[in-house]
Each structure stands twice: as C-alpha cells, then as structure tokens.
Amino acid sequence: MKLHVLEGYIQSIYLVEYQHQLLLLDGCCRADVTLVCDYIKQLNRPITDLALIVVTHMHPDHAGGAHALRQLTAAKIATANAPSQWYQGLDGIMMHLSDMALALWVAGRKRKAKQNLWYPRKLVADYFLADGDTLPGFDEWQAIHTPGHTDRDLSLFHMPSKRIYVADLMVKVKGQFIAPFPVFYPRLYRQSLHKVQQLQPQSVILAHQGEVDTPEVDFAALIARAPKQPMTHWRSVKKKTKQALGLGR
C-alpha cells in the first residue's frame, strides 16, 4: 500500500495505491476532479483503476467530486449507513448552499481562485458501511463510525499500519487540536474522540493538516475543550444577530 497526498482545493486528498487498483479516501471537491484524474495518469495508470471512493460525510470538500469521479472512472462510492440524506428538506437545501459558501470563503483565505463547487446534495452511493465493516475490495481498511461533526462521519482505519484517516474529526489551528465547525452532535462527538483514542493508532491523518503522530494529539485536552452544546450555522447566525441587536446580554 502506498499513500499519495495531493493538495486539493481546500483540503488534502489521499489516494491509496495498490498493484491492481486505487482507493480514494474521500470524495474531495468538485474542483479537484481533474486533479485526481491527471494524477492517476501521472502514475502511468488508467483512471479506471480507481475502484472505490469513500465519502466520509456530505460537506463539499468530502463529497463534492464523488459523483463526477464515478462517472469518469466507473469507481464505486461507499459511505456510512446513516438514515436518509444529510441535506434533506428546506433546511437541507439552505445548509447545502451555506456549506458551499463556507468552502469558498475558506478558499479565499487560502488565496485560491473561485471555482464552481456545485454538487448534488443527495448522495447516490453503491455501498453503505456499518461500523466496523471493511471497505469493499480493500479489506485492510476498516470503516469506523465517528459522528458528531455530522450524523454520518466515517474514519478509515488501515489495520496493518494502524494509521487512521479521521477526515474532519479534528482540526489543527496554531498548533492546537480543536473541534471542527460545525459540531451538530456534541455528545456523539466526544464519544467518537474516545473511540479513536481507544484504537491506539500509530498516526492520525487529517483532512486539512496532513498526517501527525498520535502522541502529538492530546485527546484529553481535545475532549475537555469539545463543545457541550451544538455549534451549527443557525446557532452562529442567531448569536451574531443578537449581538448586533444588543440582545446578547
């Protein structure tokens, strides 16, 4: 197994190479589709060697390129066996739009040119993974349910090397590991941190800050700082509105 790391539009892209097939650890952004295909060609492999794309959750930098890549490569898509769709109903439509706007804001902070990030808000997956399932065609990799950021977050544990890709379970800001934004389910989020800690991985692979040795992650401090109440788009808007109107006292 060889892990290739590509700099995506606003996140790292992890492409796993085996002798006969390739695995993409997340669905990346719509803006990353050409990058992924070109990189596979640079490996002197046909893009049809991409066999499986995992979507760890539905945010634009994790699901945005999945459908387009499947159409180009005939790869299958795997995701968590969460109930229904994440972006459902009117609230889901609004959240889908706001998440793409937030991704563009992050891109601006990274001095990236604006790109079209539109992608379907409903994921049509080929496989729905239960907690502990191995990835179809890649039985060295285990799907670990780590909800909190959303209700369907997956982490991907490479059992032989004990490396774990945790997607957005944590982010590193100014040298400190903190919870991501948003956190919809604080109790589940803290449980997910405990679950990853108990796996005792050798290293933790982050969607936005690369791979770090596990001793660098202070799980106790991260759990202690984890939010006790949901941190969501709507709560942030309400809080800022109240502050602007002088109602927050």
- Given this model, what pLDDT does residue 246 score? 53
- Alpha-helical runs (H) found in the chain: 33-42, 60-63, 66-73, 89-109, 186-199, 219-225, 233-245
pTM: 0.93
- Tell whether 245 is covered by a domain: no
- Tell whether 140 is covered by a domain: yes
Tokens 């085996």 belong to which residue?
18
- Tell whether 212 is covered by a domain: yes
pLDDT tens digits along 210-223:
999 999 999 999 99
Task: Look at residue 208 and tell me whether its pLDDT is greater than 80.
Answer: yes
pLDDT tens digits along 69-81:
999 999 999 999 9
What is the rounded distance in angstroms from the CA atom of residue 53 to the CA atom of residue 222?
29
- Tell whether 136 is covered by a domain: yes
For the chain, the average pLDDT equals 94
- Tell whether 206 is covered by a domain: yes
pLDDT tens digits along 144-193:
999 999 999 999 999 999 999 999 999 999 889 999 999 999 999 999 99
- CATH number, domain with residue 10: 3.60.15.10
- Given this model, what pLDDT does residue 149 score? 97
- Tell whether 244 is covered by a domain: no
Q: Residue 27: which domain range?
A: 2-225
- Tell whether 141 is covered by a domain: yes
10 Å Cβ neighbour count for 220? 10
